[in-house]
Structure 1
C-alpha cells in the first residue's frame, strides 16, 4: 500500500524517539540539562503524530506500509520493517504516547540535578520508542523484536539505582521471566509462520479465515505459548513478585511500567485474536490465570500499608482482570480496561506523594454493627436493577453475548458494594442518593463504553465463537462466585476472632510467601552477578 498520512505518522512516532539511541550514556550525562528539553519535545512530538494517525485513520479499514522485506528460509514468511494500522493500533499508539509524554515531563524535575540525568532520559525515550514500535509493527517478527527491546530498555531504567539490593533482585527476576516470555513469543511466531506461511498481521488474519475445522496442532501450541508470554509480561501469579518490588526504581519508571509496558501482555492477546479466538483451551487457561491472579492480588492489596506497594498489587489484580476479559473473548472490554487502567495508574503513581492528603479528611462514621441482612438485600437488588436497565438500554443480548453477562454481574457486585457502604453510614441521607447516582452512571458508562469500543474495533479483532461447553459455564459460575466471595470476605473479615484475623492478615501481607519460594528458585538456577556494568547502571 502506498504511503498515507496515517502510515507516515504511525511510522514517524516511534522513529523520532529512537534518535537518542546513538548517544552514548557518558555523553548524555555530560549534556544532561540540554538533553532534557529535547527529550520532552520528542515525547510530545510522538504524541502529536499519534493524534494525527488517530484523526486521519479514525476507525476505518486497516492500512499497512512495508519499507523492507527479507524472505526467511523454510517458507515461514518474511521479516518486514513496516507499520500496520487499524483501530487497535491508533488507540494504543495515542494512549501510550500520551502517558510517555506526561512521564517524560514529570521526570524533568524528578531527576533534575542527578549525575545520571542524561542517561535516564535517554533510556526513558528508548523504552517508549520500543513500546511504540511494538504497537505499530506490521510484522510478527518485528513485533517480537520490539517486545524484547522493550524489556531490555526497561531493564536499564529498573537499575537506575544499582546500589539498592532490592532493585537488583527485582530487576533480575524480571529479566529471567522476560527471557522466558521472549523465547515463548519467538517460538510462537515461528510456529505461526511455519503453518500459515506469512508473518504479516494482515496475512495472518486472512490465512486464519481460510482454515476450516479444528485448529492445527502447531497453532494450538502457538496459542499456549502466547498465553505464557502474556502472563509473564502482565506479572501474573505466581510470577508477580518483581512487579511489587520494582518500587525501588524512580517514580517515573514505575508510572511508565504500570501504565504502559505491563499492559503489553493484554495487547499481545488482542493482536493475536485471529488465532486466540479459536484456540479454545488456551483462551480458557488465560481466563483462569487472570481469575486466580486478581483473587490473590485483591486480597493481598487490602493488607498493604505502603501506597506504592498497594498500587503495585492493584496493577497485578487489574492485569488479571484484563486477561480474564480477554480470555472470555471480550476484547473490546479488555481494551477499554487497558485504556482506563493506564490513565488511572499513571496519575496514581505520579500523584502518590499527595495521597496522604486523603487521610487528613474527616473520616466517615459507619454503624458499628456493620451491614444488616436487609441492607445487603437492598444493595444487591438496587445494583442488579441498575445493571439490567443499562444493559437493556444498550441492547445487550444474553444469547449472543453470554460472556458480557458475566462481567455485567461483576459490575453489579461492585455497585452493590458502593451502595452497601452508603447504607451502613450513620448519616445516610445525601450520601446514599449520591452513591445511587454514581452507581447508575457506572452501569451506563460500562455498557455504553463497551458498545463504543466494540463498534470501534469490530473490524480489527476476530470474535470468539459462542461457548457451548460445560467448561465455559463452570468458568462463568466460578468468576461470579469469586467476586461475591471477595465482597463477603471484605465485610466479614473484621468479625473473625482476633488471633485468626491477625494470622490471616500477616500471611496475606507477605503475599502468602509464594514470591519467596520463586525468588529462591530463580537465584539458585540463575544466580545474580554484580558485574561492573551492572554496578554503574549501564
Structure 2
C-alpha cells in the first residue's frame, strides 16, 4: 500500500517543523532547564528519524509543495546536519551546566537547525534568501551567548555586516533572474538557462550569488569573524565550523546548472578560493593556539571547497563538505584531547624534513595517485586534479633529516604511500554515491588552481629548508597579512557599534587615571 503524497511530503518537512517547535518551546514555555534539554533531544531525535525516512524514500518519491524541492544531496545534507545538531545538543547540555540563559541557547540552536532544513529544500529565491538570513540571525544569539566577551561581540558585528551585504546581493541576483525568467522558481531558472543560454543579466546574477557565498563562507577578506568567534562556547564553534559555514558550498552545488554557463562567476570563485586556500594555509603554519589553528584551517578548507566548485568538480566539493563537517565537529567537541596530544608532541624535539624527501615526496605522491587512477580505469576526476591532490598529500611522505635505520625509513615511506593510496581509493569509491550531482570540469581553471597549489607547496618546502631566511615573511603570516585589520577598520567606520561591554568600558575608564598617575 502506497503512502499518501501528503504524508510523504510531511517526512521531508517534519525536521524543520520539529526544530521550530523545539525553539518556540524553549523561547516561550516556562520549563526547567534539565527538562528543556530532554525535550530538545527528543525533538531532535525525531527530526533525525524523519530525515532518515525521507532519504530512504528518495527525492522521486517525495511530492513537495511549490517552492520546495528535495534532492539526493540535500537529503544527505539534512541527515548530516540533524545528526550533528543532535550530538552538539547533547554535548551542550553538559557543557553549559550551571550557566544562565540556557533556554535562550536552546531556542537559538533549534532555530538554526530549522532554518538550515528549509534552506536545504528551497527551490525558490524568496525561501532561499529568507532561510539563509534566518540562519545568520539565529546564530548571532549563539555567538554572543557570553555578552561580556568583547571579541565575540566584535565577531558577531562583523558577521552581521557580511550577512546583510550577502542578503542584498542575493536579492539583486533574484531580481535579475526573476525578470529574465518570469518567475522565482530555481528549477525554472535551470530550465531557462538550458533552453536559451545565458544573458548579461543572468551573468550578473551568477556573480552576485558567488559574492554572497564568499561573504557567508568567511573567505578572505571577511574571514576575521570566524577566527575571533573562538570566544563563543565550544559547541557553538562546532556547529559553526561543522555546519553553518559549509552552507555556501551547498548553495554553489545547488546553483551548478547556472554556474556551468557563467564563466565570469567561476573565475571569481577561482581567484577568491585559491587566494584564501593559499594565504590561510600559510597563516595556519605559524599559529600556536590550537583552536585558532582549527579556525584558520576552516578558512583554508572553505577556500579549497569553493575552488573545487569553480573548477566544476561538484562531487568532490560535496564529499569535501561532508568530510570537513564530520572532522571539525569531532575536533571541536574533543578539543581538550587535541590540546593534550599537541602538548605531548611539543615535548619532543621538532625535526625538519630532509631536502631529498621534500623534492621526492610530490613526485612519488603524483605517481601513486595517477597509477591508481589508471588501474581503476575510469577516473572520477581529471588528471590535473590528481596532481593537485598529490601535492596536498605529499607531506605524508616527508622524512626527517636525521639519519635512521634504512628499514625504519622505508617503513615510514610505505606507510605514507599506503595512506595516500587509501585516500585515493576512498575518494574514487565515494564518487559512486547516488548524490545526483553532475560535474563540469574546466581544464584551464584546473591548471591555474594546480599552479597555485604548487606555489603553496614550494613556499612550505622553503619554510622547512630555510626557516631563518623567511623570518620576515613569518611575521606577516602570523598577523594574517593584516587583511582582517583593514576590514575591521572599514566595518567599524561604515557601521559603528559598541562592541566592548559597558561594564568593561566603565572599568577601563576608571583605571585610566590611576594608570596615568602611576606612569608619571
Q: In structure 2, what is the Cα distance between the partners aligned to 1:152 and 1:366?
A: 44
Residue 208 of structure 1, CA deviation:
2.5
Q: In structure 2, what is the Cα distance between the partners aligned to 1:218 and 1:324?
A: 24
**Stretch moving more, 352-361 or 94-103:** 352-361
CA shift digits 1:231-250 (9 cap, x unpaired): 01110111111111101111
Q: Is the contact made by 2:305 and 2:317 (CA closer than 8 Å) also made in structure 1?
A: yes
Q: Is the contact made by 1:298 and 1:313 (CA closer than 8 Å) also made in structure 2?
A: yes
Q: SS where residue 69 of structure 2 aligns?
A: strand
Q: In structure 2, what is the Cα distance between the partners aligned to 1:534 and 1:181?
A: 33
Q: In structure 2, what is the Cα distance between the partners aligned to 1:107 and 1:286?
A: 35
Q: In structure 1, what is the Cα distance between the partners aligned to 2:277 and 2:111?
A: 31
Q: Is the contact made by 2:351 and 2:401 (CA closer than 8 Å) also made in structure 1?
A: no
Q: 1:522: which partner in 2?
A: 491
Q: 1:245: which partner in 2?
A: 228
Q: 1:488: which partner in 2?
A: 458
Residue 255 (structure 1) aligned with residue 250 (structure 2) = no
Q: In structure 1, what is the Cα distance between the partners aligned to 2:125 and 2:377?
A: 36
Instruction: Give the 3 Å change call, closer, same or farther, for CA 534–37 of structure 1 in structure 2.
Output: farther
Residue 181 (structure 1) aligned with residue 166 (structure 2) = yes
Residue 372 of structure 1, CA deviation:
3.4
Q: SS where residue 99 of structure 2 aligns?
A: coil
Residue 306 (structure 1) aligned with residue 289 (structure 2) = yes
CA shift digits 1:305-331 (9 cap, x unpaired): 111111110000000000000011111
Q: 2:399: which partner in 1?
A: 421
Q: 2:517: which partner in 1?
A: none
Q: In structure 1, what is the Cα distance between the partners aligned to 2:415 and 2:148?
A: 49
Matches within 5 A, 1:52-131: 52-57=53-58, 61=60, 63-66=62-65, 80=66, 83-131=68-116
Q: SS where residue 305 of structure 1 aligns?
A: coil
Please, which of 147, 153, 156 is the counterpart of residue 168 of structure 1? 153
Residue 363 of structure 1, CA deviation:
7.1
Residue 333 (structure 1) aligned with residue 316 (structure 2) = yes
Point out where structure 2 has 5 or more consecutive residues left out of the alignment.
505-520
Q: Is the contact made by 2:217 and 2:302 (CA closer than 8 Å) also made in structure 1?
A: yes
Q: SS where residue 112 of structure 1 aligns?
A: coil
Q: In structure 2, what is the Cα distance between the partners aligned to 1:205 and 1:304?
A: 44
Q: 1:72: which partner in 2?
A: none
Instruction: Give the 3 Å change call, closer, same or farther, for CA 361–302 of structure 1 in structure 2.
Output: closer
Q: 1:452: which partner in 2?
A: 432
Q: SS where residue 399 of structure 2 aligns?
A: helix
**Stretch moving more, 152-161 or 524-533:** 524-533
Q: 2:33: which partner in 1?
A: 32
Q: SS where residue 333 of structure 1 aligns?
A: helix
Q: 1:431: which partner in 2?
A: 412
Point out where structure 1 has 5 or more consecutive residues left out of the alignment.
67-79
Q: In structure 2, what is the Cα distance between the partners aligned to 1:111 and 1:301?
A: 29
Q: In structure 1, what is the Cα distance between the partners aligned to 2:213 and 2:313?
A: 16
Q: In structure 2, what is the Cα distance between the partners aligned to 1:55 and 1:393?
A: 33
CA shift digits 1:52-84 (9 cap, x unpaired): 111121xx6484411xxxxxxxxxxxxx5x531
Q: 2:120: which partner in 1?
A: 135
Instruction: Give the 3 Å change call, closer, same or farther, for CA 225–433 of structure 1 in structure 2.
Output: same
Q: 2:344: which partner in 1?
A: 360
Instruction: Give the 3 Å change call, closer, same or farther, for CA 476–160 of structure 1 in structure 2.
Output: same
TM-score, normalised relative to structure 2? 0.89
Give the total of aligned pairs.
Answer: 498
CA shift digits 1:181-229 (9 cap, x unpaired): 01111221222222112323333332322114xx111111110000011
Kindly report the root-mean-square deviation, in angstroms, between the aligned alpha carbons of the 2 structures: 2.7
Q: SS where residue 84 of structure 1 aligns?
A: coil
Q: SS where residue 278 of structure 1 aligns?
A: coil
CA shift digits 1:445-494 (9 cap, x unpaired): 22222x324xx234x55x53x64xxxx63x43332222223223223214
Instruction: Give the 3 Å change call, closer, same or farther, for CA 115–418 of structure 1 in structure 2.
Output: same
Residue 157 (structure 1) aligned with residue 142 (structure 2) = yes
Q: SS where residue 218 of structure 2 aligns?
A: coil
Q: 2:515: which partner in 1?
A: none
Residue 501 (structure 1) aligned with residue 470 (structure 2) = yes
